[in-house]
Structure 1
Amino acid sequence: MSDQSALPVTFRPGRTRAVLLTGGVAIFVVITTVALLLEQLSPGERLSFVFTGAVLFGVLATLARVKVVADETGVTVVNIVSRRHLEWAEILHVNLRPGDPWVFLDLSDGTSLPVLGIQPGIAKERAIADARTLRALAEAHATRDLP
């Protein structure tokens, strides 16, 4: 694989994302419909129902935003509430061991960073393939960046 043609590449848990977003829309629609159909509710109560549905949708949409973007400069990891850009040299190893809920990156500062954008929950084979691709990219860039 040529690094030039392969980058940038984005990894997302596609099926999980679809389930979360579909569920969020369904919850919002159901709660809003209930608010509109219950005649005994005041306008304020109806608004609170709609607001609650919107908050629940927002939570599920936030969970669905996880991704990993690999480009020439490194890897950007977008987890639930954080975003971190790593230079290729900072990534020592890409791990997805049996039983892991997602990929972990071993970093040059001695820490490990969870990568929720690659998770074997619903699509195990896809997650394994994505982890292998990210590992190959990290290894290719690590050897390319050596003096």
Structure 2
Amino acid sequence: MPDADLPTLPVTWAPRRNRAVLLPVSALLVVVFVTVALALPASWQLNDRVALITTGLVFAAAGAMLARPHVVADADGITVVNFVRTRRLHWAQIVRVNLRQGDPWVTLDLADGTSLAAVGIQPGGGREQAVRAALGLRDLVEARGATPEPATTK
């Protein structure tokens, strides 16, 4: 494939619709829980108010965690940021990029025989957009993964 058809590096793929919903809702949850905690009648104790605020922060943290996934490709490889873990891969470590009908997100087959979910590329934000992103990542893997690592001398 000619380099002109490859995505320009660095490139980031992320489910933008998820973020557009989850981050404002998370902020709104904190505001609502803090407002309710402060508006409670005087008969409510301080520990009840703290528990309400903490609950709002926990819900907001869960929303922020769900908005976190993305995939960043650069000249050296890709960084896959999923809900909790981040993993850095060199191009040569990726054997195949998969996005089959009905898959919730892209799956990367790795040279060590394992697979890695790349949740940052998912049809939930639009099937056509996810397919374009998966094809772009696949093309980068094919173009960059075929290049052997430079040999080092001792």
Under a length normalisation based on structure 2, what TM-score does the superposition of the two structures give? 0.87
Mapping of residues 81-92 of structure 1, within 5 Å: 81-92=84-95
Q: Distance in 2 between matches of 1:84 and 1:35?
A: 39
Q: CA deviation at 1:86?
A: 0.8
Q: CA deviation at 1:125?
A: 1.7
Q: Unmatched 5+ residue regions in structure 2?
A: none
Equivalence for 2:32: 30
Q: Percent same amino acid at aligned positions?
A: 50
Q: Distance in 2 between matches of 1:101 and 1:108?
A: 22
Listed one character per residue, the Cα deviations across residues 72-107 of structure 1 (whole Å, up to 9, x for unaligned) are 111111111111111101111111101000000011
Tell me the amino acid that sits aligned with residue 27 of structure 1: L
Q: Distance in 1 between matches of 2:99 and 2:7?
A: 25
Q: Unmatched 5+ residue regions in structure 1?
A: none
In the comparison of the two structures, how many residue pairs are matched?
A: 147
Query: Residues 32 and 49 of structure 1 are in contact (CA less than 8 Å); yes or no, is this contact kept in structure 2?
Result: yes
> Given the alignment, which residue of 126, 130, 134 partners 2:129?
126
> Given the alignment, which residue of 20, 42, 48 partners 1:18?
20
Q: CA deviation at 1:141?
A: 0.6
* SS of equivalent residue, structure 1 residue 76: strand
Equivalence for 1:57: 60
Q: Distance in 1 between matches of 2:114 and 2:6?
A: 29
